[in-house]
Structure 1
Amino acid sequence: MKALHSTMEKLSSSSSYHLLLLMLFLAVHPSTQLQPSQYQVLLQIQQLFNFPSNLSNTTDFCSMEPTPSLILSCYEDYITQLHITGNNGDSEVSKMLLPESFSTDSFFSLLASLSTLKVLSLPSLGFRGPLPASLANLSSLEILNVSSNYFNGPIPHQLSNLKNLQTLILDHNEFTGQVPDWLSSLPSLAVLSLKNNLLAGSLPNSMTKLENLRVLDVSNNGLTGEVPDLHNLTNLQVLDLYDNGFGPHFPILHNKLVTLSIRNNSFGFGIPSELGSYYQLKKLDISLNGFVGPFLPSLFSLPSLTHLDISGNKLTGMLFENMSCNSQLSFINLSSNLLTGELPSCLKSTDSLGKMDVVYGKNCLWNEEQEQNPPSFCHKEALAVEILPHDRKRTGKPVLASSMLGGTIGVIAVVCLIFLAVKKRGKQFWRNCSHVKGGVKVTSTRLILEKVSAINTAKLLTDARCISQTMKLGASLPAYRTFALEELKEATKNFDASSLLRKGANHESYRGKLSDGSLVVIRKLKMIKKRNPYMYTSHIEKISKLRYNHLVSSLGHCFECLPDDSGVSNIYLIFEFVPNGTLRDWTSGGGFQGPKFSWKQRIAAAIEVAKGVQFLHTGLLPGVFSNNMKITDVLLDQNLHVKISSYNLPLFAGNGEMAVAAPKTSLRERFTVGKDDDDDKKDVFDIGVILLEIIVGRPIMSQNEVVVMKDLLQVGMSADATARRSIIDPAMVKECSDESLKVVMEICIGCVNGKAGDRPSVEDIVWNLQFAAQVEDSWRGDHHNNIQHSPVSCFSSQEV
């Protein structure tokens, strides 16, 4: 009883005052519009409050004007809405106390008798204790708001009986326990707001069944674990997970979100490239997490974005002055990351009112006003956390993956320290050499000790149905390391001819099998000038950073040194092995077993090619340009993801210090492009030729074919759909939407333009191809019941 009295004393007097005025009026002047039963309920509530009975200036109950504290609505003879809002700021009202006999349970039990009530809103009334289960009797209730009270304990499961409930707001209380699994039994639920409570545990997987959900706000709780796969919630527009412990993987979401806030959680790994296709997104806040890997500059140009906050992470990459931005951006916070380059000029300008707010301090940008770190800081930090964007599916072994990832990062850090020590000690770098004396291999003890565990994380994770891109970059690849020559001899049967893949004048490529069973490609480069290995450290350091999910990534290197220590005789570069043929095999039917790619798969592959080139241009300092890329250089891995196998490695500089194969000559260099071609636009032309093959489904072997097909595509753009479809691969005629075909054809035409200045940027290519994929998805949703997803969605045919 004492506890009950205490509760009554602390109940907000403001709301009670308004409610009691209403009830007293009904007791003295019953409304003729109400059913007797409704009136009796209100009379009992008035008696429960035991408020004085003198009231004047009465009006008809159902016709009362709403006030900020009280809103009542009727339909015919029944109350349908009741809004009572507390006003704790009113010092006069705050002096009033509820009678000691007041009972919260009795109050809610009487309210529950108003069976026709559709809207019940009782914020800021000071209620305490558990939320009464009697609310479940309001079977017609569509909106329930009891925010800003002191309700505690678990959310009562009896609320699952409110099958008509569309909005549930329990914000700013003291609810404990987990987010209820039974929420999935509310089929009409569109707004769920549980922010500022004491909830713990993880979000239940049953949340994925709330297909009508538009707003999900669970911010400022103690929730942890992975966010369920919410990509099926196509109506979801607002997702707010701020200030919890979610992570480490980025949530899997649909691209129609308007607001996404995951600030101050435990998310890590990379941010997914799919964010670049969230064209309706207005607010994006991923700050104060542990994201690493490349930042997506395409976010600047999202057409609807006004608020962008990525601060407090370890995102890398180079910004350029000429990057494009959405003119609607009003707030941008890039601070406390590892960004380099120059702030885009579009972020330096403001609108006519000067309202753009841009924060970018504590990066490594140059020529900027806000405080920056030295370039070496971002470089070292990026080496220590080399992890890149993730895919849309996750391994089923998060604990194992996290452990592996941590180990991988640790090894990378050790390797970085070794490189730094080498730079300081010069000749001590010789300890990394494998020496040959009288035909007998001699390897330093230190090098053997530096070898990592024989357990290959790539092999351990191969059986996962779909590994995220982050894991593919970090945990699915061993840390970059120095190999012993003896390892490479073992892997290739002492460089036997049966292991030879390719041979040139001064270079050879071998297929090898390491002791853990993983397959690799070993490139042997014969040095013309015998130099101290220290001379190659800057090149090797750049190569060690060529680890991206759409590149054939580097795994390590080995220096073979002459017995008299006069220099390096051979350099071995070790790369991952990619088993599933070339992109031409899958689009032109060039002999590789398996069905030709669908139109959706072709767009996905083209996006991955463009992203690979984008990484080469912006992921390193300086970028890697003029890669002379052909469709036969685009390989497919075991999950049919693109891996670009041939690019302009930093080690292949024309300095006469090493002999390598003569550079490949592309269609662009042989026939079309002048000497004034920009380096980045050379790669754009090569992407265009690849797009041509993807569209027509047959090899493009000469410049004449490029010119003819470009002209044909231009004619097709101004023709009707039937004419356009006569141009493309006959196998695709019935498989693609005309709109997506037009987008791909248009970007292809721009890429193969003879004038470099008229070609699109790589960022524009990625954006347009992603838009084409979105259009194709929409078309398939309208016309097909069963859709085979493309590799980029991580739903390969083997999973269906």
Structure 2
Amino acid sequence: MFSGHLPEWLDSFPALAVLSLKNNLFNGSLPDSLSSLETMRILSLSHNNFYGSVPDLRRLTNLQVLEMDNNAFGPQFPLLGDKLVTLVLRNNKFRSSIPGEVSSYYQLERLDISANTFVGPFQLELLSLPSIAYLNISGNKLTGMLFENLSCSPGLEAVDLSSNLLTGTLPKCLMSNTNDRTVLYDRNCLEETNQNQHAPPFCHTEAIAVGIVPEGKKHKRVSKAVLSIGIVCVTFGGIAIVALIFFIIRRVNFKTKIKSPPTKLISENAASGYTSKLLSDARYISQNMKFGTVGLPPYRAFSLDEIVAATSNFDTASFMGEGSQGKLHRGQLKDGVLVAIRSVKMTKSYSTQDFMHNIELISKYRHRHLVSVLGHCFECYLDDSSVSSIFIVFEYVPNGTLKSWISDGHYRKSLTWTQRIEAAIGVAKGIQFLHTGIVPGVYSNNLKITDVLLDQNFTAKISSYGLPLLSNMGKVGQGNHSSGFKSSSINKSVKNEDKSDVYDFGVILLELILGRTIKSRNVKTLKDLLQASITADGEARRSIIDPAVRKACLDQSLKTMMEICVRCLVKEPAERPSIEDVLWNLQFAAQVQDAWRGDSLSSSDGSPISPLASRRMAFHH
């Protein structure tokens, strides 16, 4: 029967590992101090009256069980680490899309997000997570098309897909005659099923409207109300005046609701006009999902005083480097957030209006796998208000470049094989966002391994891409970019333009596999070496890779990575895979590596005895 708000002093127990508050009467929002309990393994808040946003829990890297059911949390999906085993968000007020990171929770055994209003595509990869045993997404507005030949995890015991907006055919793996598996899927728009389904137009209409009542139906309701009042007035004359007043009040409220715009989430989904192709594509990621996973403060304009205070008046201790695009300083904002601030002196007089279009563009460059822009500041001349300097504020990424974490012979500071795959997946997701997640798309970014940084969680972030503001300043006499953001091709109608970044990614992948920096003139020779080793035996493959990861690298995972790398480095751009296909196969390599639990679980050829090993994902053109 505990009640009231949770206290802020929870962080005074830094060694706390289990916190269970379920079945009480707590209310209010959760304190931010929860975010600092990094030793937490189990957090259970079920059956209370909590509400509001969930604090950022990504620092809780040991968290395995999170139970938040039967509260009023929302609207955004919580920011979490990827080591969860149990995640229960049932019966809350979440109404965002599901972040793409959830499909990479390879230790996840139980996922229950039922009885919310989650929207956007259902991630089909959740069915095949290696550890998943219980999956419940019922009672939401999730869209997407199921396919007959989808794979399911062999340990999947219970699946509830009911009451969503799913179309297509129920996968065979869910229809298999087994007494150990429970599958519910009614009240969708699936074909040829034994459970009750809506007609296909229902899911299409609901997916576009996301729950908004069509105008025609609203007017119809009003007409019925008018008719009812008319009958009441004729029959009960004495009550007519009261009923009329009541009706007028409701009518005024109703018009007010019509004039009020829907929430941002609903309007964005309704305006997106999902086509059947997008709804059916298992790899499609909604815009809400891409932007929702950043976990950064909103983009804003900084004052010059804030910039000066953050850098201690550009103290030499904060200096990080200088290139043709200006100086780079490390800084700390008032709220404690670390930032990197690039200062660019203008050689000509430009008004702030000249830059506002570019500012609008760069404010969209926010993604988990990009070094995102947090804001800007203009310093102007007093006489004519023209711009003398521009300060671009970026998030600070503390762990240096990806290049510094491949061995190059120094094994003490080297990423594991699993970390290298995760870094490659991060870079691929960043490229995918640059190509498809913003309009106009950004291509030909001239990516190198030195352009990829690692944050405190070793999440890979692309630091050097075609930032419009700095690219355009290069055109007005600022010279080439060196340590900053690069000129790139933005949305040009050039055939296979996206394949330039795929090639650059192949070079990065080659360096991750071999564990050393590679000069451009040697790429073809080393690509041919990888090609030959793919058809050789496992020992031949291992003999050429980075010795730092040779022992812990599963052969099936290594072979998949080599195949991806070779395909990315094909001479003809048209024959290179799309970034989506690259990402798909990287995730497969991660799954088979993660499913491996040591030599005792491996067959004689080094492949895991697991259904995942047979699930080879072919490249599509």
| TM-score relative to the length of structure 1 | 0.45
1:488 and 1:573 map into 2 onto residues whose CA distance is 10
SS for the counterpart of 1:503 is: strand
- Aligned counterpart for 2:590 among listed residues 759, 773, 780: 773
Give the partner amino acid of 1:606: A
Q: Does 1:639 align with 2:457?
A: yes
Q: Does 1:555 align with 2:374?
A: yes
2:79 and 2:128 map into 1 onto residues whose CA distance is 22
Counterpart position of 1:249: 78
SS for the counterpart of 2:415 is: coil
Give the partner amino acid of 2:402: L
1:240 deviates by 12
Counterpart position of 1:265: 92
1:695 and 1:577 map into 2 onto residues whose CA distance is 27
- Cα 1:715–1:229, aligned 2, differ >3 Å: closer, same or farther? closer
Task: Report if aligned partners of 1:277, 1:767 keep a CA contact under 8 Å in 2.
Answer: no
SS for the counterpart of 1:541 is: helix
- Aligned counterpart for 1:539 among listed residues 351, 358, 362: 358
**What pairs up with 1:390-789 in 2 under 5 angstroms?**
473-474=294-295, 477-492=296-311, 494-495=313-314, 499-505=318-324, 507-514=326-333, 518-527=337-346, 530-565=349-384, 567-589=386-408, 594-654=412-472, 658-662=476-480, 678-702=496-520, 704-780=521-597, 783=600
Q: Does 1:362 align with 2:213?
A: no
2:472 and 2:291 map into 1 onto residues whose CA distance is 34
2:471 and 2:266 map into 1 onto residues whose CA distance is 24
Counterpart position of 1:83: none
Counterpart position of 1:32: none
2:502 and 2:102 map into 1 onto residues whose CA distance is 23
1:333 deviates by 5.4
Counterpart position of 1:84: none
- Cα 1:484–1:654, aligned 2, differ >3 Å: closer, same or farther? closer
1:572 deviates by 1.1
- Cα 1:505–1:246, aligned 2, differ >3 Å: closer, same or farther? closer
**What pairs up with 1:151-190 in 2 under 5 angstroms?**
none
Stretch deviating more after TM superposition (615-624 or 267-276): 267-276
2:80 and 2:346 map into 1 onto residues whose CA distance is 48
Number of corresponding residues: 447
1:530 and 1:607 map into 2 onto residues whose CA distance is 43
Kindly indicate whether structure 1 or structure 2 has the higher relative contact order, using CA contacts under 8 Å at least 6 residues apart. 2
RMSD: 5.6
- Cα 1:256–1:772, aligned 2, differ >3 Å: closer, same or farther? farther
Task: Report if aligned partners of 1:310, 1:334 keep a CA contact under 8 Å in 2.
Answer: no
Task: Report if aligned partners of 2:406, 2:515 keep a CA contact under 8 Å in 1.
Answer: yes
Task: Report if aligned partners of 1:628, 1:664 keep a CA contact under 8 Å in 2.
Answer: no
1:308 and 1:734 map into 2 onto residues whose CA distance is 39
1:697 deviates by 0.4
Q: Deviations over 1:233-260 (max 9, x none)?
A: 9xxxxx9998764676378899999xx9
1:633 deviates by 1.0
SS for the counterpart of 2:443 is: coil
Task: Report if aligned partners of 1:261, 1:286 keep a CA contact under 8 Å in 2.
Answer: yes
1:773 deviates by 1.7
- Cα 1:333–1:545, aligned 2, differ >3 Å: closer, same or farther? farther
| TM-score relative to the length of structure 2 | 0.57
Give the partner amino acid of 2:102: L
1:760 deviates by 2.4
- Cα 1:308–1:379, aligned 2, differ >3 Å: closer, same or farther? closer
1:632 deviates by 0.6
- Cα 1:522–1:682, aligned 2, differ >3 Å: closer, same or farther? same
1:640 and 1:743 map into 2 onto residues whose CA distance is 22
**What pairs up with 1:95-494 in 2 under 5 angstroms?**
245=72, 249=78, 264-267=91-94, 271-277=98-104, 286=113, 289=116, 299=124, 326=147, 357-358=203-204, 359-362=206-209, 473-474=294-295, 477-492=296-311, 494=313
1:531 deviates by 3.6
Task: Report if aligned partners of 1:301, 1:325 keep a CA contact under 8 Å in 2.
Answer: no
Task: Report if aligned partners of 2:330, 2:341 keep a CA contact under 8 Å in 1.
Answer: yes
1:490 and 1:241 map into 2 onto residues whose CA distance is 40
Structure 1: gaps spanning 5 or more residues:
1-153, 155-197, 203-207, 210-218, 234-238, 314-318, 336-348, 365-372, 383-468, 670-674, 785-800
Task: Report if aligned partners of 2:139, 2:162 keep a CA contact under 8 Å in 1.
Answer: no
Higher Cα radius of gyration: 1
SS for the counterpart of 1:522 is: strand
Structure 2: gaps spanning 5 or more residues:
2-21, 27-40, 151-160, 167-188, 212-258, 269-289, 488-492, 602-621
- Cα 1:751–1:490, aligned 2, differ >3 Å: closer, same or farther? same
- Cα 1:256–1:509, aligned 2, differ >3 Å: closer, same or farther? closer
1:594 deviates by 4.9
Q: Deviations over 1:344-397 (max 9, x none)?
A: xxxxx9979997654421379xxxxxxxx9x99859977xxxxxxxxxxxxxxx
2:146 and 2:477 map into 1 onto residues whose CA distance is 44
Task: Report if aligned partners of 1:250, 1:271 keep a CA contact under 8 Å in 2.
Answer: no
1:684 deviates by 1.8
- Cα 1:502–1:614, aligned 2, differ >3 Å: closer, same or farther? same
SS for the counterpart of 2:597 is: helix
1:718 deviates by 0.8
Task: Report if aligned partners of 2:82, 2:104 keep a CA contact under 8 Å in 1.
Answer: no
